[in-house]
Amino acid sequence: MKKLLTILLAAVLCVMMAVAVNAADVYVTDGGEGDGTTAETPMGSLEDAIASIADEGGTVHIVNTYSHDGEFSEPEHAAPITVTGGEFIFAGAKNRWYLNGETTFENITITAADPSKGAVIVAQFNPIVMGEGVTVPEKTYLLGGHQLDGMGTDTAALMADKGWPLDKDSYITVKSGVYHVVSGYSRGASTAIYTGTSHLNIEGGTINMLLGGSCNGSAGHNAEINIYGGEITTLMTAGDSTRRLNGDCTVNIYGGSIATLDICNIMGVGTVNISGGNVGQAAKRVTADAQYMVDGTVTLNILEGATVLPGVSMGFDVVNGEVSSPVINIPGITDETEEVAETTAPAAETTEAPAVTEEGGVNPVVIVVVVVAIIAVVAVVVVVAKKKK
C-alpha cells in the first residue's frame, strides 16, 4: 500500500512540474522583433505570441503598448491564457476582441483610438475572466456568446455554416472594470434560440446593465447569476421584448449593490436568493409573447442576516423569509438628540414623587402637598368673604 501511494505521489508531482514548466510567459510590444522570451526581446505580433503558447497555456505580457488596427481575433488555443500588462490599443474602426479559448485579462488597460466607439469583447462561449486591475473603454460590451452581424431570420443556417452550436454554456467573471453592458448570451439582430445556460459571476467592477439573456435579438434558455460585489445599475434576468429566457433563472446575491432588479421575461421559474448586499428596488414583468410562458413565477428567498425592504419583496410572487421594516428618519432628530433625551429622562423621573409607595400606602409627601393645597383654597375663600362684608 505504501509503495502504491509513493508511486501515485510521484506521478502527481510529475504532472504538477510539467504544468509549471509548460505555463509559459511570452512578451509582445509594438515594433518588437525578438523571440518573446523576455521583456527585453518581445515579439511584434500578439497573434504569434498567443499561438506560441496555444497548446500548453501561459501568460502574454504586453510591454508598454500594443496597437491593433481592426478587429482582433485570438488564434485558437486549447489551454487557458492570460493577457496582462501595458496597454492594448484598438486603432481601427471596429473595436472588437474575439476569444477562441479560455482567456483572462488582468492588470491591463484597453483603450480605443476613437473613445466614442467603445469596445466589444466577444467570448464566443469561451470562459472569460476580467480580473483585477482591468480598465476598458467607455461603453464596453462584454458578451458571453457571439456578436451576430447581419444574420436576421437566417440565423440558424448562418450559424451552422460557421460551426456555432446553440447548446453551449457561457462563463463570465468580472472582478474589475467599468462596462456598459454585460450579457450572458449574444448581441445583434437574430432569431437564434440558445439551449444552454449563461453563468455570470460578478465580484467587482461597475456595470450599467447586467443581462442574464441576450443583449438583443436572440433568446436564451437558463441563467445563473451570482453577485459577490461590484456596483450594478440594472440587473435584468433576461431582457426586453423577445430577449427572453425560455428556461429558468437563479440569482444569488451575496454582496455588492444593485439599484434595480428587473425580474423580466422568465418563461420558466425564477428564484432570487438574498443573503447580503443591497438591492434598491425590484419588479417583475413579462413583455415577451405569452405563448412561450411555462410557469413564469418568481420566488424570493431571504436568508438569515439579509436586509430586504418591502419595496423589493413586492416584486415577487412568493416570498420566503423575514422582510425588514423600513427605518423612518424624522428631519431634525438625530441619534445624538435621541441619546440626550434618553440620558435626561431618568433625572426628570426622580423629581416626581410617586403617589403610591411600593408597600401600597399613600406617599406622605403627597399628603403634605394635598393639605397645603386645601389650606391655600380655604385662605382664598376667607379673603373673598371678608371683602364682601
| Cell (9 digits) for 174 | 468580472
DSSP state of 193: B
Residue 345 has what pLDDT?
Answer: 41
The reported pLDDT for the residue numbered 355 is: 40
State how beta strands 87-90 and 65-68 pair. Answer: parallel
In the structure, what pLDDT confidence band is assigned to residue 377 with cuts at 50, 70 and 90? Answer: very low
Q: What pLDDT digit, counting tens, does each position of 50-107 carry?
A: 999 999 999 999 999 999 998 999 999 999 999 999 999 999 888 999 999 999 999 9
Q: What does the DSSP assignment read for 251-301?
A: EEE-SSEEEEEEEE-BSS-EEEEESSSEEEEEEEE--S-GGG-S---EEEE
Q: How many CB atoms lie within 10 A of CB 29?
A: 23
Name the grid cell of 10: 510521484
- pLDDT at residue 328, rounded to an integer: 60
Return the minimum-mean-pLDDT range out of 116-130, 233-247, 305-319, 323-337: 323-337
Residues 6+ apart with CB under 8 A from 300: 272, 274, 282, 308, 312, 313, 315, 316, 318, 319, 320, 321
Q: Which three cell numbers stand for residue 58?
A: 501561459
Over residues 113-162, the pLDDT tens digits come to 887 888 999 999 999 999 999 999 989 999 999 998 877 677 878 888 88
Average pLDDT, the chain: 83
pLDDT of residue 331: 63
Rounded CA gap, 191 and 293, in Å? 18
Q: What is the mean pLDDT of residues 374-381?
A: 48
pLDDT of 150 reads 73
pLDDT value of position 290:
54
Cα 105 from Cα 255, distance rounded (Å): 23
Does the pLDDT of residue 383 top 80, yes or no? Answer: no
Q: What is the pLDDT of residue 105?
A: 98
Q: What does the pLDDT read at residue 85?
A: 96
Q: Higher confidence at residue 243 or residue 151?
A: 243
Please compute the mean of the pLDDT values over residues 225-235 and round it to a whole number. 98
Q: How many Å apart are CA 213 and CA 210, to the nearest integer?
A: 9
Select the more confidently predicted residue: 254 or 291. 254
Share of the chain above pLDDT 70, in %: 75
Q: Report which of residues 379 and 251 the model is more confident about.
A: 251
**pLDDT (average), residues 263-284:** 95
For the chain, give the number of residues.
389
What CA–CA distance (Å, rounded) separates 28 from 136?
19
Confidence at residue 349, expressed as pLDDT on a 0 to 100 scale = 40
- At residue 228, does pLDDT exceed 90? yes
Q: Please tell me which residue, 118 or 357, carries the higher pLDDT value.
A: 118
Tracing cell 460551426 back to the chain, one arrives at 163
**Cβ(186)–Cβ(214) under 8 Å?**
yes
Going by the DSSP 8-state scheme, the letter that residue 291 receives in this structure is: G
- Which residue type sits at 278? N
Cell of 78: 486549447
